[in-house]
Copies of this chain bind each other. A is one copy, B any other.
Amino acid sequence: MDLSSFLTSLGTSFLIFVVLMFLFTWLSRKPGNTVVYYPNRILRGLDPWEGGSMTRNPFAWIKEALYSTEQEIISVSGVDTAVYFVFMSTVLGILVLSSIVLLPILLSVAATEEAHKLADASVSNGTFSDLDHLSMGHLKEKSPRLWAFLVGVYWVSFVTYVLLWKAYKHASNLRASALMSPQAKPEQFAILVRDIPDVPEGQIRKEQVDSYFKTIYPDTFYRSLVVTDNKEVNKIWKELEGYKKKLARAEAVYAISKDTGKSEGTRPTNKTGFLGLCGAKVDSIDYYTKKINELTPKLEAEQKATLREKQQNAALVFFTSRVTAAAAAQTLHAQLVDTWIVTEAPEPRQLLWRNLKIKFFQRQVRQYVVYIIVALTVLFFMVPIAAISAFTTLENLKKLLPFLKPILKQKAIRTVLEAYLPQIALILFLAFLPKFLLFLSKTEGIPSLSHAVRASSGKYFYFTVFNVFIGVTVGGTLFSTFKTIEKDPNSIVDLLATSLPANATYFLTFVALKFFVGYGLELFRLVPLIIFHIKRKYVCKTEAEVKAAWFPSDLGYGTRVPGDMLIITIVLCYSVIAPLILPFGVLYFGLGWLVLRNQALKVYVPSYESYGRMWPHIQVRLIASLILYQVTMFGYFGVKKFVYAPFLLPLPILSLLYIFICSKKFYHFFQHTALEVAAHELKEIPNMEQVYRAFIPPSLSSEKLNHDQFEDAQSNVSRTAASLA
């Protein structure tokens, strides 16, 4: 790629960004769009435009984002989001500090090297372009100028170490101050107990759990909540809620028809069959009312049956003290280690109820099976794609879906399909990958959503780094280069090192595209905007339906982080080879910070809180990227026949040591709550009844069911609780 085409590509991306920015500024000021651009504020009951968003200045949002404090982010979007910004700003810091030193020095060292034609292919795809003047590939073999680049690698590494250390400390403090907050959260008073042994004869599960914990914690045990199999009751409850919504909708339609048409209105009707397309035609309001009246007693019966008969081998146990709960969650309770396994209780909203009953050794087996599947997916991800492509040839399609025949006979469509079918398969696969990984992570038996998201995010990172970065660089997938590597396992580093410079401009464009178009679209929210307007116009009839149409999603760092990690991996690996990539990295993370700050403050609503548990995962993977960078650079200095290349060898060792020290110094606190943190004073004695109720799933909570009726799965208040109330 020569300079002009590179600049064209860059210019196009920038243009798209400017257009998107303009559209955002224009559309976000229309009152009808506030729910798309300020849903978070509206949900918090604030004026969407407070603070000057409505002024003439189209860049007011930038100012707002810049002046927002970390405390605001935590109060609006939680510690997890704050930690995500710690990550963004740390990476930004690393890249800025690297740029300041590397850009002036390395570019001038490279540019002043005498021009020479290189025989090997270490310049961009053989064409000698202006950009290559400014990269390490331009240097002669064994040139003493390579020393500058070697020192550059050290500089980048040390900047990373120092800033990541500070960031770990910062994240740890954020977590601590959230956990020691005087406003206690329900999950801080609860622990999750799994693998409860079989109920002894003559006892019920509730008695078993209560007597076990009462013996150990005579003073602080409050009560327990036995986990039940809620599948059936959830189904009925969902059905009931669905009918309630449909009834509300039918009533709204009827009301509208009264206003617009005949005075007595048209009573809406619907068909009772499949998807409302077939079956007998009935009056909607009557039909849904009847259904609701039928289902309500059924739900109540099922609730009772669930609580009595569908108790499982897991329970939530509540304590009246935050310290006891924190200590109980990290201590061994049973002599047989695979029974009575305790963990911190996750937030009620992110409990994965269905996983709780899975037994310890089954969890282990599931985990390893999932790891194997993921490893195979990462390494051989092209195989299913190829299989799908082979399967979805036109001939096969014709056979399987004969009704497509007439369409496929058209020459133009034929050509396009033949060319793009494999690509479509690939794109679909990549689009479903995060969901697939999340599904796999949930299958492991993880008890909370945030943990499952972390696990799948980690898996996704390995996938992107292996397949996108190494895959693109080496040219093809790892799978296809296995033959080379098999002969000599060390060749992977050489292979990577020789292929890197050739792809420098490709990745430069990739990063630029990613931030200009990606963050432009993020800010502009094109898809939510369109969907909302369509829904509001054609689908939504009730207030609740409209709210559901604009209700914002989570920030979704589970998929964001791997994407960002890919960028930082690319930028790090090229930071010394082609320092020109650094400003692009700075722009990516700077712009990202700005745009997402805006989105976190105004758009997204957190769907769970894990108190920054994501951070250690991010940190380890950042260092993994750094090690990849250091090893690759060692290989590349080898390619340049620089005899002092072994001076780079201490770096990967240092990085491993660094991970080790960090994990020993900080990690344990991200696994457990430190008692000194939990021991901070509370503003008021918590209402234990509320704490307890917070964990009852909506399908099981009912005003009609009082305690005496469902004492089976939800135990009575203990004597100590009475004395505290």
**A residues neighboring B (CB under 8 Å):** 172-173, 176, 212, 215-217, 219, 323, 326-328, 330-338, 340, 360-361, 364, 661, 664-669, 671-677, 679
Contacts of A364 in B (CB 8 A): 664
Contacts of A327 in B (CB 8 A): 327-328, 331
Q: Is the CB of B669 within 8 A of A338?
A: no
Q: How far is the CB of A724 from chain B (nearest CB, A)?
A: 14
Q: Is the CB of A361 within 8 A of B331?
A: no
> With the chains together, A671 CA to B337 CA distance in Å?
11
Shortest Cβ-Cβ A-B pairs, 9 listed = A337-B668, A216-B679, A327-B331, A332-B672, A176-B335, A332-B674, A333-B675, A335-B674, A216-B675
Q: Is the CB of B335 within 8 A of A332?
A: no
Q: Is the CB of B333 within 8 A of A674?
A: yes
Q: Is the CB of A337 within 8 A of B216?
A: no
Q: How far is the CB of A333 from chain B (nearest CB, A)?
A: 5
Select A676's contact among B212, B361, B677, beta carbons within 8 Å.
B212
Contacts of A215 in B (CB 8 A): 676, 679
Q: Is the CB of A674 within 8 A of B361?
A: no
Q: Is the CB of B334 within 8 A of A674?
A: yes
Q: Is the CB of B335 within 8 A of A676?
A: yes
Q: How far is the CB of A665 from chain B (nearest CB, A)?
A: 5
Q: Is the CB of A332 within 8 A of B332?
A: no
Q: A216-B679, A664-B361 are in contact. Are A669 and B333 (CB under 8 A)?
A: no
Q: Is the CB of A337 within 8 A of B669?
A: yes
Q: A215-B676, A323-B216, A675-B216 are in contact. Are A669 and B332 (CB under 8 A)?
A: yes
Query: Other CB < 8 Å A-B pairs besides A330-B332, A337-B664, 20 of them?
Result: A172-B335, A172-B336, A173-B335, A212-B676, A216-B323, A216-B675, A216-B676, A216-B679, A217-B323, A326-B331, A327-B328, A331-B672, A332-B673, A333-B674, A333-B676, A335-B676, A336-B669, A337-B667, A338-B664, A340-B676
6 CB-based A-B contacts, threshold 8 Å: A327-B328, A331-B675, A333-B676, A334-B674, A335-B677, A337-B665
Q: Which of A333, A360, A676 has the most CB of B within 10 A?
A: A676
> With the chains together, A664 CA to B336 CA distance in Å?
9
Q: How far is the CB of A364 from chain B (nearest CB, A)?
A: 7
Contacts of A337 in B (CB 8 A): 664-669
> With the chains together, A330 CA to B330 CA distance in Å?
7
Task: Report the nearest B residue to A179, measured CB to CB.
Answer: B335
Task: Report the nearest B residue to A180, measured CB to CB.
Answer: B335
> With the chains together, A266 CA to B284 CA distance in Å?
123
Contacts of A328 in B (CB 8 A): 327
> With the chains together, A364 CA to B667 CA distance in Å?
16
Contacts of A666 in B (CB 8 A): 336-337
> With the chains together, A695 CA to B696 CA distance in Å?
48
> With the chains together, A671 CA to B332 CA distance in Å?
10
Q: How far is the CB of A193 from chain B (nearest CB, A)?
A: 12
Contacts of A361 in B (CB 8 A): 661, 664
Contacts of A360 in B (CB 8 A): 664
Q: How far is the CB of A204 from chain B (nearest CB, A)?
A: 19
Q: How far is the CB of A58 from chain B (nearest CB, A)?
A: 43
Q: How far is the CB of A221 from chain B (nearest CB, A)?
A: 12
Contacts of A661 in B (CB 8 A): 361
> With the chains together, A360 CA to B327 CA distance in Å?
22
> With the chains together, A712 CA to B258 CA distance in Å?
87
Q: How far is the CB of A674 from chain B (nearest CB, A)?
A: 5
Contacts of A330 in B (CB 8 A): 330-332
Contacts of A338 in B (CB 8 A): 664-665
Contacts of A673 in B (CB 8 A): 332
> With the chains together, A673 CA to B679 CA distance in Å?
23
Contacts of A216 in B (CB 8 A): 323, 675-676, 679
Contacts of A672 in B (CB 8 A): 331-332
> With the chains together, A676 CA to B338 CA distance in Å?
14
Select A332's contact among B172, B217, B664, B668, beta carbons within 8 Å.
B668
Q: Which of A331, A340, A667, A679 has the most CB of B within 10 A?
A: A331
> With the chains together, A331 CA to B669 CA distance in Å?
10
Task: Report the nearest B residue to A173, measured CB to CB.
Answer: B335
Contacts of A677 in B (CB 8 A): 335
Q: Is the CB of B675 within 8 A of A336?
A: no
> With the chains together, A667 CA to B676 CA distance in Å?
28
Contacts of A331 in B (CB 8 A): 326-327, 330-331, 672, 675
Contacts of A671 in B (CB 8 A): 332
Task: Report the nearest B residue to A340, measured CB to CB.
Answer: B676
Q: Is the CB of A334 within 8 A of B665?
A: no
Task: Report the nearest B residue to A666, measured CB to CB.
Answer: B337
Task: Report the nearest B residue to A217, measured CB to CB.
Answer: B323
> With the chains together, A331 CA to B674 CA distance in Å?
8
Q: Is the CB of B665 within 8 A of A336?
A: yes
Q: Is the CB of B326 within 8 A of A676?
A: no
Select A335's contact among B323, B326, B334, B669, beta carbons within 8 Å.
B669
Q: How far is the CB of A616 from chain B (nearest CB, A)?
A: 11
Task: Report the nearest B residue to A177, measured CB to CB.
Answer: B335
> With the chains together, A669 CA to B332 CA distance in Å?
7
Q: How far is the CB of A605 from chain B (nearest CB, A)?
A: 29
Q: How far is the CB of A328 from chain B (nearest CB, A)?
A: 7
Task: Report the nearest B residue to A679, measured CB to CB.
Answer: B216
> With the chains together, A677 CA to B267 CA distance in Å?
69
Contacts of A665 in B (CB 8 A): 336-338
> With the chains together, A215 CA to B335 CA distance in Å?
30
Task: Report the nearest B residue to A661, measured CB to CB.
Answer: B361
> With the chains together, A312 CA to B330 CA distance in Å?
28
> With the chains together, A336 CA to B670 CA distance in Å?
10
Contacts of A323 in B (CB 8 A): 216-217
Task: Report the nearest B residue to A673, measured CB to CB.
Answer: B332
> With the chains together, A332 CA to B679 CA distance in Å?
12
Contacts of A334 in B (CB 8 A): 669, 674, 676
Task: Report the nearest B residue to A323, measured CB to CB.
Answer: B216
Contacts of A219 in B (CB 8 A): 219
Q: How far is the CB of A150 from chain B (nearest CB, A)?
A: 28
